[in-house]
Amino acid sequence: MSAGPAFTFAFEIRADLAPTLHVGHGDGEKTEFTPITGGTVQGPLLNGTVLPGGGDWSNTRGRVCELDARYLLRADDGAVIDIVNRGYYHEEEPDAPAQHDDGLEVAATGVYYRTSPTFRTDAPAHLWLARTVFVGLAREAGPHTVAIRMYALR
């Protein structure tokens, strides 16, 4: 009998953010853009920095915010990695439990903040990123920082 899917913690991205820019209102939705100004990547499978210049487009309809971020990472070995990170943020029922990973709260009580990133690079040492499915658990990590713990599906 084979085991079911397993997630392995790969790394955490801490992206520094500039103030959000209001783009517009549509019929029942609000569109905003949040510039990414830098940050760090740390973990057992990848370390490096978040390069300034990317950003996160968000569309909020009702209480659900759809996220579509694109930015670049630079690994410690100098390789550049493109990330497209889509997901959702919404507050759930007040009794939805917090989630922890080795004592670190990776999801706040009552909040659904998940992403599904894809990566592109031609750097041989990092090709595994472009052929692995990831799930990101995101959380606020300060007034202008978001932290996303990336888990590889094995």
pLDDT of residue 93: 66
Domain membership of residue 31 as a residue range: 12-144
> Does a structural domain hold residue 125?
yes
CA angle at 38 for the pair 109 and 79, rounded to the nearest 5°: 110
> Does a structural domain hold residue 2?
no
> Does a structural domain hold residue 151?
no
Res. 128 pLDDT band, cuts 50 70 90: very high
Phi, psi of 114 (to 5 degrees): -125, 150
> Does a structural domain hold residue 62?
yes
43 or 25: which leads in pLDDT: 43
> Does a structural domain hold residue 52?
yes
- Its pTM stands at 0.91
106 pLDDT above the threshold of 80: no
Res. 42 pLDDT band, cuts 50 70 90: very high
The stretch 14-32 carries a mean pLDDT of 93
| Burial tier of 1 (Cβ tally within 10 Å: 0-12, 13-18, 19+) | exposed
43 pLDDT above the threshold of 90: yes
Instruction: Kindly report the CATH number assigned to the domain that includes residue 20.
Output: 2.40.160.20
> Does a structural domain hold residue 152?
no
> Does a structural domain hold residue 99?
yes
Say how many domains are in the chain. 1
40 pLDDT above the threshold of 70: yes
52 pLDDT above the threshold of 90: yes
> Does a structural domain hold residue 5?
no
